[in-house]
Structure 1
Amino acid sequence: MPHRNAPLTETGRLRLARCVVEDGWPLRRAAERFQVSHTTAARWAGRYRQLGVAGMSDRSSRPHHQPRRTPAEIETEVVRLRREHRIGPLRLAVRCGIAASTAHRILVRNDQPPLAALDRATGEPVRRYERARPGELVHIDVKKLGRIPDGGGHKVLGREAGSPNKDRRNGVGYAYLHTALDDHSRIAYTEDLPDETAPTCAGFLARATAYFASLGIRIERVLTDNAWAYSKNTWRNTCRDLGISPRWTRPWRPQTNGKVERFHRTLLEEWAYQRPYTSDHERMEAFTDWLHWYNHHRPHTGIGGQTPASRGTNLSEQHT
């Protein structure tokens, strides 16, 4: 690609070359007409004679001879260590006795993707997918979150003062945040429930189905992990009664349910741990507003900056 001050694009080079080669213009006349030097006009005319239209493209500026380039055996070792141990340029540089910038260039030269784009378990590039329509697949998972005693926990009172509030008799325990997340639109529905037993999970699915139905979305499939509650007949029977096909992730592969896992991470960063709360009630009141903001107003990077509401079929209030 020519730089911003280049007088000739590929089309301009072709016009110049044809003027010289096909129309018989003198080089100096062509150079003056296209406002380039005599040597530039000669170069493009010569390439046109030799290669035709294909010769008008830019060539790599890499030198043919690179005496200081990293030896091939070191490059091979860098790539091997990357594939086997999945480590970054800094650690590769220490192991191979080269600069970190050199290790990075070797990885780029050998088409090695960034670590963030690799599956941690297999080292293979992450395969991303998205269902074609809302409701085709809904991810379901539970996030266990410690409740906040009245008066605040250790983030408000400090470690020493907050430690007595760990006693369950003071109203502390765990919140089980059950979430249903639509794969296509990323619309989320979350409830704070007292446990994650089979009847609780089944009841949540029924209410989530009703919620999505109110938005014009019919759930066709649900994807869960292999937790005990999702393997019982209670869950299977509820799915059957609702006309939903249950699906389960492969064992030890949470990445399969990664969309709802990523939602829970966002939930913790932008709501649960966003500021200190003085009670669990205060935090849950803030959650209602946060979830509405997430669904209706927050640009989602996973769907090109759109809001989840904009991808729903009949979701109202998205512009309020």
Structure 2
Amino acid sequence: MPHRNAPLTETGRLRLARCVVDDGWPLRRAAERFQVSHTTAARWATRYRQLGIAGMSDRSSRPHHQPRRTPAEVEDQVLRLRREHRIGPLRLAARCGITPSTAHRILIRHGQPPLAALDRATGEPIRRYERARPGELVHIDVKKLGRIPDGGGHKTLGRAEGRRNKTGTGWAYLHTALDDHTRLAYTEDLPDETAPTCAAFLQRATAWFASLGITVERVLTDNAWAYSKNTWRDTCRDLGISPRRTRPWRPQTNGKVERFHRTLLDEWAYRQPYTSDHERMEAFTDWLHWYNYHRPHTGIAGQTPASRGTNLSEQHT
């Protein structure tokens, strides 16, 4: 594609060349007519004679001879190390004795995807999926979070005083149910992650989704002890839900709720120092509403989770 200040596009080059070759215009007359130099007019006329219309396209500026190009054996070494160790240009450069920019150029030249697009365990491109309708699959997981003692923790008081003030605070167990299609999230702060607690949470989460017009059909959990008990299976059966579990040691399968928990920590739990656990949980209520109804979600093309539900944001009323 010609740059923005180029006097000729491909159509203009073709018109110039046809004036010279087909209509017999002198080169200087054609150059003056199209406001280009004599050499430019000669170049496009020559290419038109040799290649026809196809010659009007831009050519690569890469030289035909590259005596300083990285040797093929070094490129093979870079690609082999990338496949075997899944490391980036900086570490590849250190091992192969080249600059990071050269390593990056080799990866680009051979069509290697960025590490962020690869499964680090297998080296295969990540296969992303999304269920077709709300409620078809709900991801469930628990995130443990240290409770904040009254008066604040180490982020407010400093490390030494924070340790002295921490005694007996315990853990918050944040149970989350996240819909695969809409990314709508329902989260509760509960005292533990036992089977009865998880089963009761599922009942409340199902009722919450039902209040939004979403019927939960399947739930996906990891292989935690609570999700393998009869209490969980019986609750799923009573609710008409099909339980599913991820493969062992493969948290990526439940990646949507894992990513939600990372967002939750970044944008709520660790966003500012809190002076008590009660203060932090009060802020969580507003944050979760903002996440569901107002926050643009990059995983669904900048839409809000509520906009993908059944008229949750009331945009059709």
TM-score by length of 2: 0.94
Asked if 1:145 is matched to 2:142, the reply is: no
Contact 1:296 1:317 in 2 (8 A): no
Shift of 1:29: 2.9
Q: 1:246 to 1:33 in 2, by over 3 A?
A: farther
Matches within 5 A, 1:69-218: 69-168=69-168, 172-218=169-215
Instruction: Give the partner amino acid of 1:311.
Output: R
Contact 2:137 2:217 in 1 (8 A): yes
Matches within 5 A, 1:251-270: 251-270=248-267
Instruction: Give the partner amino acid of 1:105.
Output: R
Shift of 1:268: 0.6
Which one of the candidate residues 251, 268, 271 is aligned to 1:271? 268
4+ residue runs over 4 A deviation: none
Contact 1:140 1:223 in 2 (8 A): yes
Contact 1:181 1:187 in 2 (8 A): yes
Where do 5+ consecutive residues of structure 1 fail to align? none
Of 213-222 and 159-168, more deviation after overlay is shown by: 159-168
Residue equivalent to 2:300 = 303
TM-score by length of 1: 0.93
Of 19-28 and 183-192, more deviation after overlay is shown by: 19-28
In structure 1, what is the Cα distance between the partners aligned to 2:250 and 2:139?
Answer: 14
SS state at 2:136 partner: coil
RMSD over aligned Cα, in angstroms? 1.8
Instruction: Give the partner amino acid of 1:273.
Output: Y
Of 43-52 and 262-271, more deviation after overlay is shown by: 43-52
Where do 5+ consecutive residues of structure 2 fail to align? none
In structure 1, what is the Cα distance between the partners aligned to 2:241 and 2:21?
Answer: 71
Contact 1:178 1:190 in 2 (8 A): yes
In structure 2, what is the Cα distance between the partners aligned to 1:213 and 1:35?
Answer: 70
Contact 1:90 1:100 in 2 (8 A): yes
Of 226-235 and 266-275, more deviation after overlay is shown by: 226-235
In structure 2, what is the Cα distance between the partners aligned to 1:190 and 1:262?
Answer: 14
Identity %: 88
Residue equivalent to 1:20 = 20
Shift of 1:317: 6.8
Instruction: Give the partner amino acid of 1:95.
Output: R
In structure 1, what is the Cα distance between the partners aligned to 2:64 and 2:299?
Answer: 42
Q: CA offsets, 1:22-79, max 9 Å, x none?
A: 3443333332222222222222233233333322221110000011111111111111
Residue equivalent to 1:53 = 53
Instruction: Give the partner amino acid of 2:283.
Output: A
Matches within 5 A, 1:34-49: 34-49=34-49
Q: Count the aligned residue pairs.
A: 316
Contact 1:153 1:278 in 2 (8 A): yes
